[in-house]
Structure 1
């Protein structure tokens, strides 16, 4: 991975000041707008940003998370999408690729529908269609409802497997980058997702879409990824070993999938825009430094 230092900037969009980071790319890849998970600060995506060094990566802290002051009033997903669009306007980006993880995956869906002309490709990781999702294990969801895992890294490491269904590969580095959200910021994020669903507009999404789902996800079970992919025209579902934080624990396997999807030429895409492409299941080794994963038979 290349060591890249992001440029940080506070950007005002409406009544909110949003701490924003841009990792400047060293190539000509299309910029990637990243929507983070609930309570997650910008620094947590540093390994991904360093791996995708050929393109600009844009990320921001939600209100009350990381370095962004908490919002005065609750907000809805359509308002959060407008915040992201305001950031792109201020930074001078028009069309981008978009990626969202977990809660951020829901916001990425909203953004892709609301600002369709600005989205070229869409990646949805460990996420669901919102209200109609199949819930995860109660023990994991109970711990997810409180931001304690961000406030106490030892607590997060102790319950890592229960929370995320992952091995602890990369967990210590993840814990060191944590920055606790405010209670109000975390609560407003939870509130934003209540009652929201993307089901009515998923069939109308236009970007080529990659859905990534963890085989052992304790928070957003695999069936939710299948449901998303079945409703989004021309989407592809990749099932990866690991749980909710497979971007951390299985980075060596997942990042090549992301890079290949973003770099594919449209004429060489393995599916038609009008048809669901089905799914692929990858079985890679858990040992660091091993070869590329193989599609399962």
Structure 2
């Protein structure tokens, strides 16, 4: 087990007719903070973002492998943002969790938006990382997107490392972090990967955000993200009434890892802030 998973409780849960691999951190420990419900990027298993859960030591943390991803079995039927958000709510009920702070990265940022609107009554704050409003988005570079669509990036480690910069910009620099990140990834199944792609086809949050996403929302973007360009974060900022945008200078798509300390401080400050604080800052 990864060093970042040593404090996690990992179980297989039957939720709303699906079997999901679920990881929780500190859920059985007393805390003054709400748990974080985290939605991962496309094809990424729990281990990929486990360092974030490990770093937020003061908060309970909940994450699960999407069907056909990581160690969750293949989905029998396709799913969409509504059904997977409902499934996540059912999982919270099974875990005895009420309200949460909702967080998502990339593909998971779209699900986080949908969950926060569909289950507004139990979603306190929202953190959107390197994500967009769905189909109404400014696309990334063709070079990056052509490789993004190829599931080989999860199946072939050499291919992923060779094309890392094209996929994720220079966000991780030239450090050994590339190999470290790759060592935590497990390939999704072909069906799991395809169903994740299908899940968001035709979906956009843009028309609903001004009216339904009322929670305080932190949008975090990298200014060198080749997959989800910064313009998408500015678009979300324009659409979400109670939002702020923080830009990670020199950050690619994985600035959460390359700018770990800065990212953790930004997330922690936002989640710990008293409600309705005036004078939010925007980094541009």
Report Cα offsets for 1:147-203 as digits up to 9, x if no partner: 222222232222111101122442222111011100000000001111000012101
SS of alignment partner, residue 236 of structure 2: helix
Higher relative contact order (CA 8 A, sep 6+): 2
Tell me the distance in 2 between the aligned counterparts of 1:236 and 1:182. Answer: 36
1:256 corresponds to which of 249, 257, 265:
265
Unaligned runs of 5+ in 2: none
Tell me the distance in 1 between the aligned counterparts of 2:4 and 2:149. Answer: 35
User: Residues 3, 42 of structure 1: CA spacing in aligned structure 2 closer, same or farther, 3 A cutoff?
Assistant: closer
User: Residues 267, 134 of structure 1: CA spacing in aligned structure 2 closer, same or farther, 3 A cutoff?
Assistant: closer
Tell me the distance in 1 between the aligned counterparts of 2:56 and 2:6. Answer: 10
SS of alignment partner, residue 266 of structure 1: coil
Native 8 Å contact 1:10 1:19 kept in 2: yes
Tell me the distance in 1 between the aligned counterparts of 2:158 and 2:272. Answer: 38
Matched, 1:17 2:25: no
Native 8 Å contact 1:42 1:61 kept in 2: yes
TM-score scaled by length of structure 2:
0.93
Report Cα offsets for 1:264-292 as digits up to 9, x if no partner: 11153434xxxxx6x314xxxxxxxxxxx
Task: Give, in angstroms, the shift of residue 36 of structure 1.
Answer: 0.1
Task: Give, in angstroms, the shift of residue 146 of structure 1.
Answer: 1.6
Aligned to 1:209: 217
Tell me the distance in 1 between the aligned counterparts of 2:233 and 2:21. Answer: 30
Matched, 1:31 2:8: no
Native 8 Å contact 2:168 2:226 kept in 1: yes
Report Cα offsets for 1:1-40 as digits up to 9, x if no partner: 9985100111112221011000116642210000000000
TM-score scaled by length of structure 1:
0.89
Unaligned runs of 5+ in 1: 272-276, 282-297
2:78 corresponds to which of 66, 74, 77:
74
Task: Give, in angstroms, the shift of residue 100 of structure 1.
Answer: 0.3
User: Residues 267, 131 of structure 1: CA spacing in aligned structure 2 closer, same or farther, 3 A cutoff?
Assistant: closer
Tell me the distance in 1 between the aligned counterparts of 2:88 and 2:13. Answer: 10
Tell me the distance in 1 between the aligned counterparts of 2:164 and 2:215. Answer: 33
Runs of 4+ in 1 over 6 A off after TM superposition: none
Report Cα offsets for 1:32-77 as digits up to 9, x if no partner: 0000000000011111011101011100000000011111121111
1:126 corresponds to which of 126, 130, 150:
130
